[in-house]
Structure 1
């Protein structure tokens, strides 16, 4: 049946929240304040999901989405929402997750103003494309891979790299990772379901011209896939086959927020988990007495070591440990003045439990998923830690994603083994 719904707010994932006859309805394509028409299935479930068929009355937050494939691609579910409303929603969702899921009492912590991205579009320096029908490249939508000729989130160098590779014959490649430096050079990661064929190895070497300076192909490398961005006091390296932040323009803000969350302990002995290739480690080395960094990805550690060795006065400050964060912790001897962690979207429950057993006085937690941050915040609360502040940062305008930097201090008690 068709129903008329008023969108109240945005929820995690970018859908609009509405209500119909006592049931919650999550509506894709609705902005706060919109009156929309949608198809409902009904039934006894407490909620259902649907898509707005049309907007009957646009709310104040509704804007025209400039991307022609936004409804099919699925990568920018809030592109039809005004930038200010996007920021307000992400700030509210930070508090909602910490208080509703994490059990943090309202008013007991400081929710800092959300940091906006200086770029609303054209901010991505890297992306991963998937092979679709007919050899096209695109993003995974609701109905499979949606071919993408132009992405409005791509920086100009990334768009040029994607354009240059679109017609290339890459036999067996199903996923195509693209990365670019601020200077415009690019590197490519080719992924296949099985071992790469001799034809693909040859083709990878042939790509080393023009915009492409290096290719990663499983454990094999052609050219030099390492890209470098200059920052005050250090150089940050990346490769297309390992994680790095996609929004180059927001990296300084993320670094500043993470260091601020460490408080006065930033000049002391720091334990960093999930250190990656050094986005947060390198600025930390300019201030800390010592840093122990733990990371499971070997190539990331290699990039970090190369960058750290270039920093004047940092010799001997950094020790790197390869391995799983939770498994490595018992063997790391402190004392530490603070810990910094930046886990993947799934969070760091086991690492948080191990950290709590160490009794580290202060923890700065950088999260790209507010609900899993809230889950881990509850673990820390049960272990005697208090949330001091939460700082949301909009690293991903037009999408449902954002970062949160949370600061915790140990206030009392010992680990009670909460599962």
Structure 2
């Protein structure tokens, strides 16, 4: 049954919150102060219409915005959007009882996302290709994605559909990740499982027709016609299929600039959760770096890029699960600085080891404000001071935010610890 409510505020995921006699109701794609008509489903609601619009509302630029779950904030004017993201981070820090100056939000969208993941599903006799609707497994079929880099924007849906056509006999749900690299598209398909020889040969032919650089199934390369290279500083890296990559080129460059500026006086640096080296390869222009990452393929790619790039200081690599086996304080004490860039779960175990170490500088990069705050609080309780908090918006039009925190051990507490 439809009902009318007034939106009081926004939550951390950009949903509007209406207070009712039965509790808060969460409504997507609305703004504070708006009167809207909704249909409830428990504490969630579908938006039926906006009856009284906020002056901060604008027309979304994507024709799929109302249905697609990929973007959540295109209806916000830019100034309001920036303030909301900044305040969301400030609120998260306050909840963790952290007081630190938050710098202005840096827009790092650049030309757009350099990687998209499209879904192929067969809920009926037809094949459906696109993104998921919000809080649903329903596919919203798209012809283009306006927040992707220009080559991906128009071509990615067609590539996903062509691959789906070649694999549709199995009718398995497919997730097709397409990355725009220096040498063309790098495509990794998940969900199908092992291929028959006929399917493998068919995909090799398709990769040639689509002019793909590399085509993989579950990270296993079916064909590599050109090494799918990513430029990181002065180096050219070929990451493993489907491995972690910052969402935008400008986002990576911005984060790397903030990290290298913070570490410019450090001679020996540990780059933990290093991936294929977006920070390590830039830091090595001035410092020795020890890079640690769980995935051996990423470590191999980083080492190969380092050896092929003249003029870099030494980079050593170590494949290690930092959740189960964090670097211990005696190991950490060999470094002048530690860079952390963990997954969304954060780096709690590693932060606890840093807290009892003598490392003077920690640069924390996080894609989750809550785990950033948790890990920073651990360090601050042992004598680190959070000097800077820099929000970086490379996940534009979404609630997600990158945070860079620069933590320095206070000299007085360091001296007392050594005594």
Query: Which TM-score tier does this pair reach, normalised by the shorter chain?
Result: 0.7 to 0.9
Q: How many residues align?
A: 398
Distance in structure 1 (CA, Å) of the matches to 2:219 and 2:179: 17
User: By how many angstroms is 1:76 displaced?
Assistant: 0.5
Q: Report whether the alignment pairs 1:127 with 2:116.
A: yes
C-alpha distance in structure 1 between counterparts of 2:33 and 2:226, whole Å: 47
Distance 1:365 1:56, change over 3 A: same
1:4-403 correspondence to structure 2 within 5 Å? 4-20=4-20, 23-39=23-39, 48-100=43-95, 102-105=96-99, 109-117=100-108, 119=110, 123-133=112-122, 134-141=126-133, 142-146=135-139, 147-158=141-152, 159-168=154-163, 169-171=166-168, 172=170, 174-182=174-182, 185-209=184-208, 210-218=210-218, 220-221=220-221, 222-224=223-225, 226-230=227-231, 233-262=234-263, 264-265=264-265, 267-288=266-287, 290-315=288-313, 317-326=314-323, 327-330=325-328, 332=331, 334-403=333-402
Mapped contact 2:220–2:241 kept (Cα < 8 A): no
Length-normalised TM-score, structure 2: 0.86
- CA distance in 2 between counterparts of 1:205 and 1:325 reads 37
Moved more, 124-133 or 337-346: 124-133
**Which whole-Å deviations, capped at 9, do the CAs of 1:233-280 have from their partners, x for residues lacking one?**
333444541110121233221211222344x54x32111111001111
Cα separation, partners in 2 of 1:10 and 1:238, compared to 1, 3 Å: farther
Q: Conserved in 1, the CA contact under 8 Å of 2:2 and 2:37?
A: yes
Deviations 1:334-385 (Å, cap 9, x if unpaired)? 4211110111112111222222233322111111111121122222223332
C-alpha deviation, 1:138, in angstroms: 2.0
Alpha carbons of 1:239 and 1:86: their partners in 2 closer, same or farther (altered >3 Å)?
A: farther
Task: Name the Cα RMSD after superposition.
Answer: 2.6
Change (3 A) 1:65 1:201: same
Note if contact 1:33-1:61 (Cα within 8 Å) is conserved in structure 2.
Answer: no
Q: Pick closer, same or farther for the CA change 1:233–1:103 going to 2, 3 Å.
A: same
Query: RCO greater where, 1 or 2, for CA within 8 Å and sep 6 or more?
Result: 1
Q: In 2, Cα distance between the equivalents of 1:227 and 1:39?
A: 47
1:188 Cα offset (Å): 1.0
* 2:27–2:45 contact (8 Å) kept in structure 1: yes
Whether the aligned pair in 2 keeps the contact of 1:161 and 1:178 (CA below 8 Å) is yes
Question: Higher mean Cα deviation, 380-389 or 345-354?
Answer: 380-389
Deviation at 1:204, TM superposition (A): 2.8
Unpaired segments ≥5 residues, structure 2: 415-419
Q: CA deviation at 1:392?
A: 0.4
